[in-house]
Amino acid sequence: MTISIEKSVFGTSKNGKEVVLLSLSNENGTLIEILSYGATIRKWIVKDGNGQMRDIVLGYDTFTDYENDKFFLGCVVGRVGNRINGGKFKLDGKEHQLSVNRPPHHLHGGGANALCRKVWDWELVENGVKFSCVSPNGEEGYPGELHIAVTYTLNDQDELTIDYQAKTDAPTIVNLTNHSYFNLENEGSENFKDHVFQFFTDKYLPADDDHLVTGEVCDVRGTRWDFTQAKRIGDICESNFAFDNQMCFDTSTFTGSEMKKLARITSPKSGISLTIASNQVGAQFYTGDRISADAPTVGKGGKTYAQCGGFALEPQACPDAINKPNFPSNVLRPDELYHHISRYSIARN
């Protein structure tokens, strides 16, 4: 295996911390850039079906852009990704109030001290880089001091593995994931309506108008969420790409003990396919309809990203699981290890 790793300085945080960019590359020419700010994937360049290089993730050119980002482009979100109703939960009889950064709810770990806003420590490991940070007791309202490590490794088969681990000194809740937005034609492409999606899950979690899960677990068959057979997404929703739901396995039988294939997405135009596997119960499928909805979102190379210019597939626990007793628990206790593994595999058609 011939994975090379290079380091450069990307910026300086408001509290004077150096932000570095780590570049992982393999013998195929695949290049993945990851920032120590938010453990963020900034760039993901792969060969297409004709051997041409394409950048398949949305991102920004400057550190200031990342500090001002509203869409969580490429970062690790948490302590708990997704929404928590009212920012409130009860654990072992005690009620906790989290920060409310998407009023009236808590989203992706909260505000200024969320994981996506931290400059993480880092160290090189075999074929990759390990990022780590500590979230103090009470940060953004969460109980317990949480020690977190996220390791990115690349191989010569064009597989990126993200390994998340966390330990706590008091009962708390954890749901970490990466929030990259993909466009397999190229970042900056107008949309992804020609992409072909297939999910290997047959359930989804309905959500209300506030994007909060209702607690139901529904079968996808006969609904617009039915991608059990590969489908061009534009054939399902030519003018309405607004998906923001958890696609999941049967929550009543989920154990988290094995890696399962979640989804495969293919771009006929580029000849690139992406397969995502994880040990999580499902993945949030978000089609980026809020990007550039209120004001232009300017990305890499000065390109204005279009609404639905990229999709996110975020392997994770069920949203708001702490408030939904019928969902698999996301409670972490001091004698336990939180361990989430996701693998992203690139292939050419």
> Which positions are catalytic?
179, 314
Please report, for residues 70, 120, 145, 162, the alpha-carbon distance to residue 142 in angstroms, rounded to integers and kept in the order given.
Answer: 22, 19, 9, 24
Number of H helices, E strands in the chain: 2, 30
Q: What is the Cα Rg of the chain in Å?
A: 19
Would you say 75 and 40 are in contact if contact means Cβ atoms under 8 Å apart?
yes
Answer whether 247's CB lies under 8 Å from 260's CB: no
Query: 70 exposed, middle or buried (CB, 10 Å; 0-12, 13-18, 19+)?
Result: exposed
Rounded to 5 degrees, φ, ψ at 9 are -90, 130
The reply to whether 267 sits in an annotated binding site is no
Q: Which residues pair with 266 in a beta bridge?
A: 196, 273
Tell whether 50 is in a known binding site.
Answer: no
Q: Give the bridge partners for 245, in sequence order.
A: 285
Going edge to edge, which strands form the sheet with 260-267? 121-125, 128-135, 146-154, 159-168, 338-348, 272-278, 260-267, 196-199, 231-232
180 is in an annotated binding site: yes
Q: Check the annotation: does 335 bind a ligand.
A: no
Give strand pairing partners of 45.
Answer: 31, 55
The answer to whether 270 touches 184, Cβ cutoff 8 Å, is yes
Residue 79 labelled as part of a binding site: no
Residue 181 annotated as lining a ligand binding site? yes
Q: What angle do CA 287, 292, 297 make, to 5 degrees?
A: 110
> HEC string of 187-256?
CCCCCCCCCEEEECCCEEECECCCCCECCCCEECCCCCCCCCCCEEHHHHCCCCCCCEEEEECCCCCCCC
Binding site listing for beta-D-galactose? 82-83, 179-181, 250
